[in-house]
Amino acid sequence: MEELFATLIVLADSQKAHIIQAELESAGITAYIADEYSSQLIGGYASGGIRVQVKESDLEKATAIMSELGYKS
């Protein structure tokens, strides 16, 4: 069965998305960045933003890491 992905955070800044991805992956959580290029073409949140996604099974741990980094859910 395929694992589903959940959006952890939506950002307008691709650099922040990559920093968050690196932090999550250093904790053993695979993170994907979605809509990065369309966001750059259209402009930030106007396109729906850049989504950092994780497997649903990692969502709770990823949310805790985000909280430690100072991001509110």
Q: pTM surpassing 0.85?
A: no
H helices present in 1-73, as ranges: 14-26, 36-42, 59-68
R_g over Cα of the chain:
12
Say what the pLDDT of residue 39 is: 55
- The list of the chain residues with pLDDT below 50 reads 44-45
- 């053993």: which residue's tokens? 28
* Topology of the domain covering 5-68: Alpha-Beta Plaits (3.30.70)
Say what the pLDDT of residue 73 is: 56
Spatial neighbors of 69 by CB under 8 A, at least 6 apart, are 20, 23
